[in-house]
Structure 1
Amino acid sequence: MKIYIVDDDESIRTSLTEILRDEEFDVRDFATGKSMLHELQRERPALVILDVWLGKEDGLDILDSIKEAYPALPVLMISGHGTIEQAVQATKKGAVDFLEKPLSLEGILKKISEILKVPDGPPRNENIALAFDEIIGASSAILKVKKAIAQAAGTNARVFIYGENGTGKELVSRSIYHNSKRSDKPFIHVNCAALSEDVIEEELFGRVSAGGFRPGAFENASGGTLFLYEVSALSLKMQARILRVLQEGVILRVESGEQLPVDVRLISAMNSDPQAAIRQGKFREDLYYRLNVIPVVLPPLRERQEDIPLLLDHYLRLTAEQHNMKLKRFKTNAVDALISYPWPGNVRELQNVVERLSIMSGEQDITTETVLDHLSDVRSAPLPFPVTGDLRKAREEFERNYITQALRKLDWNVSRAARYLGLERTNLHRKIKALGIEPEK
């Protein structure tokens, strides 16, 4: 397991690092909170050990920053000049505990062991515990989502997730589940749009037959969480049956008159606007209000462009690990090109593009030209400008817009724009001529 140590005292960092590495922990140490927060955007440890006094920085302010962006990440505060008031304040802000220096070997190892283990259970699974932090980003839009997830995880209330395809609805549902009190019980996922009317009833409620019975999703999720994806795709008849379950807390298996009590937390999700579905008569308004106790609205990637560099870095590292490859990088101008792309498929599309470029590109530093070459055949989804369906023309339109933006930014200076875009000046001249780009008057 990975542990971060943040202390401005080099001797403390060194001795604590050596102790924890002897115990086979993967340790990184930081002299400042700022440097640690920057690294947190790239990867999350299982635990942060944070000093209260960090020279010009206040450890409690750093704690606030951690908890705002990564509420599920455990933080152990330490101090050589701590007071009871500081300890109380730290725990109120979300620290798991507060230890006084000098730290004893036995004391620190015992405390870390307690933090990284579920009480009376197996060692803490950091992949599950930090599932919340798989939601990459530090924009105000995504921090708002993380806050809603943290609030939802602490309750048994029903949750309704709305977002376009590829924005991470299932990831959010699993993050809520993994950080809830029901995380030791089942998580059952049902795609309501993928099952026909005659199949969905049995899938949800089970069936009784001469040979016995088959439990449905509500029974299989007993004590845990049932995730209904595209819930408005259900017929109005089936929506009425779910409404009855929510009102009465019981289900009826198909071909059975016996009422069975169920204890299930419902998380529902939709790709389309639920209010529009209600107006069209496809979604029961009374069911919507029952399901929408805690709303979580996921922004499309085009509305949180500042998160794209973090996502690129995350998926570059993930691809390198999964395919046992050398870690590649995007050149700055290539990153700018990817930020400018509209991402109709959102984060899922971005992940696919990064994996593809990492594997297929022979470059260590992926350039703008390589990015533009690959974006033309990533997918044929609608772009925010009119296209005829011709991928070549779609790519030309994207390149025209991107190059024009760069030229505007640099007052139409072709030499500077070529350096900015990572192109040869003659190559950029050819593109400007071929794309019919003319200086604005």
Structure 2
Amino acid sequence: MNVNIDVLVVDDDVSHCTILQALLRGWGYQVAIANSGKEALRQVREHVFDVVLCDVRMAEMDGIDTLKEIKALNPAIPVLIMTAFSSVETAVEAIKSGALDYLIKPLDFDRLQETLAQALAHTREPEGEPSPVSAAQCGMVGRSPAMQHLLNDIAMVAPSDATVLIHGDSGTGKELVARALHASSARGEKPLVTLNCAALNESLLESELFGHEKGAFTGADKRREGRFVEADGGTLFLDEIGDISPLMQVRLLRVIQEREVQRVGSNQTISVDVRLIAATHRDLAQEVSAGRFRQDLYYRLNVVTIEMPSLRQRREDIPLLAEHFLQRYAGRNRKAVKGFTPQAMDLLIHYDWPGNIRELENAIERAVVLLTGEFITERELPLAIAATPIKALPEHDILPLVEVEKEVIQAALEKTGGNKTEAARQLGITRKTLLAKLSR
């Protein structure tokens, strides 16, 4: 049964809507109806749907325009277009505008059921055997290809005991990945101990990592166990590992190699069984080349690398993240907020987010605090976001969509050295879709 799946049917033919509503409810879906494009947009602003079925020929606003507006509000929603006019031109325009698929009226119900299942496969965990990790389990929000790639990496790496290096810009959620790796591993019932290496000077960091004996230094009034001992049997997550001093690099390398630590002020060694996960925003390979980071430590840490996508690499997730933070801070501030205006959401989607998810969260919290109405507008957003230019080509520079698409695909293939799988991931499409576009 599909009891938790919400479908929006958009058609100005009331009788056709009624038939589809009865059919889809019979299949177990939750179904909402909109008899115009404007009504559909209102519902999409107020509710997150799993899939939209939209007719092309409607009086007030046609299906293509409705599709474009829905995608502007939430690019992650799969939209299926329906039409009684099976022209190739309409199908091409719908797909170029963001439709996931195209259905001919009168609908083939078997085909409809199959297409709905395929659409939902893009946004839902498959039924039956659960995947090792999901976005919700990781405390993450997102359905984009970049997020799915990240979750697949976590699922593959988590069961092993290998050291993991998480690389990504600040604010991308590296600690959430570390927590997911620990929770999905055989050590999940043991401690996960975290430490931000950049927050401490060298002497304090040494004491925090390895512990100290009473009297080892001024202020050491009692013996203290270090983070390695605290994490024994579990996982130790060292954030901003690229910021530690050369001396600490030597001491950390020894612990990793020997799997034993010495408290500061002690000659006694303590064996530890710890899985190490490290994270950094720095390019450690470049740091090694510049002589700022030990090559042998880099190789010890870089057994498996997980790359964190920046927020601008997963723009499809911005509406979902924005809604997630909106609900969180509306509750905390006891405000009845219904959502975002299309203009505000457009600015959020087009902004480059140098601070990534952390910056988005702060922006939404600020907007909720300042809000006096029911919908967040551009007025409540930080000035840097509200002033975001929405890029448009001058009239004389406008190219046919097929030419623009061709140039983008060629650029992606050049950037990835001809690797079609990686090019498809960066473009946010499947490899099968990329191959079909290359064939055309």
How does the TM-score come out when normalised to structure 2? 0.60
Shift of 1:62: 7.9
The answer to whether the 8 Å contact 2:174/2:308 transfers is: yes
Report whether the alignment pairs 1:302 with 2:312. Answer: yes
CA distance in 2, matches of 1:259, 1:300: 41
Number of aligned residue pairs: 304
List runs of 5+ in structure 2 lacking aligned partners: 7-22, 30-48, 53-70, 78-109, 216-220, 399-440
Which of 259, 270, 276 in structure 2 is aligned with 1:260?
270
Tell me what 1:376 maps to: 383
Tell me what 1:405 maps to: 392
CA distance in 1, matches of 2:125, 2:118: 14
Amino acid corresponding to residue 239 of structure 1 in structure 2: Q
Tell me what 1:360 maps to: 370
Which of 298, 317, 320 in structure 1 is aligned with 2:327?
317
Tell me what 1:291 maps to: 301
Tell me what 1:195 maps to: 200
Amino acid corresponding to residue 142 of structure 2 in structure 1: G
Which of 338, 342, 351 in structure 1 is aligned with 2:361?
351
SS in 2 for 1:132: coil
Shift of 1:405: 2.8
| Deviation per residue, 1:121-157 (Å, 9 max, x gap) | xxxxxxx997534322222222211111222222221
CA distance in 1, matches of 2:4, 2:111: 12
Structure number with the bigger relative contact order (C-alpha 8 A, sep ≥ 6) is 2
Q: Please give the root-mean-square deviation of Cα atoms over the aligned residues, in Å.
A: 3.7
Matches within 5 A, 1:335-350: 335-350=345-360
CA distance in 1, matches of 2:296, 2:148: 30
Report whether the alignment pairs 1:236 with 2:293. Answer: no
Tell me what 1:165 maps to: 170
SS in 2 for 1:183: coil
Matches within 5 A, 1:94-173: 94=130, 132-173=137-178
CA distance in 1, matches of 2:309, 2:369: 29
CA distance in 1, matches of 2:162, 2:117: 31
CA distance in 1, matches of 2:346, 2:116: 34
Shift of 1:363: 2.5
CA distance in 2, matches of 1:12, 1:342: 41
Tell me what 2:402 maps to: none
CA distance in 2, matches of 1:54, 1:227: 48
CA distance in 2, matches of 1:183, 1:256: 31
The answer to whether the 8 Å contact 1:161/1:270 transfers is: yes
Which of 228, 241, 248 in structure 1 is aligned with 2:258?
248
Amino acid corresponding to residue 114 of structure 2 in structure 1: E
Shift of 1:229: 0.8
How has the CA–CA distance of structure 1 residues 257 and 64 changed in structure 2, closer, same or farther, with 3 Å as cutoff? farther
Report whether the alignment pairs 1:56 with 2:113. Answer: yes
CA distance in 2, matches of 1:298, 1:170: 11
| Deviation per residue, 1:229-266 (Å, 9 max, x gap) | 11121111211221112211111111111111101111
Shift of 1:365: 2.2
| Deviation per residue, 1:378-434 (Å, 9 max, x gap) | 7xxxxxxxxxxxxxxxx7xx45x33x63986999xxxxxxxxxxxxxxxxxxxxxxx
SS in 2 for 1:209: coil
Tell me what 1:184 maps to: 189
CA distance in 1, matches of 2:3, 2:270: 48
CA distance in 1, matches of 2:211, 2:229: 8
Amino acid corresponding to residue 243 of structure 2 in structure 1: A
Report whether the alignment pairs 1:224 with 2:234. Answer: yes
How has the CA–CA distance of structure 1 residues 221 and 62 changed in structure 2, closer, same or farther, with 3 Å as cutoff? farther
How has the CA–CA distance of structure 1 residues 175 and 151 changed in structure 2, closer, same or farther, with 3 Å as cutoff? same
CA distance in 2, matches of 1:349, 1:186: 30
CA distance in 2, matches of 1:408, 1:333: 23
Shift of 1:163: 0.9
List runs of 5+ in structure 1 lacking aligned partners: 15-31, 43-52, 78-90, 97-127, 379-394, 412-441
CA distance in 2, matches of 1:265, 1:274: 20
SS in 1 for 2:392: helix
How has the CA–CA distance of structure 1 residues 61 and 277 changed in structure 2, closer, same or farther, with 3 Å as cutoff? same
How has the CA–CA distance of structure 1 residues 354 and 144 changed in structure 2, closer, same or farther, with 3 Å as cutoff? same
The answer to whether the 8 Å contact 1:131/1:174 transfers is: no
Shift of 1:95: 7.2
Amino acid corresponding to residue 264 of structure 1 in structure 2: V
SS in 2 for 1:405: coil
CA distance in 2, matches of 1:409, 1:257: 76
How has the CA–CA distance of structure 1 residues 95 and 184 changed in structure 2, closer, same or farther, with 3 Å as cutoff? closer
CA distance in 2, matches of 1:308, 1:171: 18
How does the TM-score come out when normalised to structure 1? 0.60
Shift of 1:359: 2.1
CA distance in 2, matches of 1:60, 1:290: 44
SS in 2 for 1:189: strand
The percent identity for this pair of structures is 37
How has the CA–CA distance of structure 1 residues 132 and 274 changed in structure 2, closer, same or farther, with 3 Å as cutoff? farther
The answer to whether the 8 Å contact 2:135/2:142 transfers is: no
Tell me what 1:332 maps to: 342
Greater Cα offset, 156-165 or 131-140: 131-140
| Deviation per residue, 1:338-369 (Å, 9 max, x gap) | 2121211111111111111122122212234x
Amino acid corresponding to residue 139 of structure 1 in structure 2: S
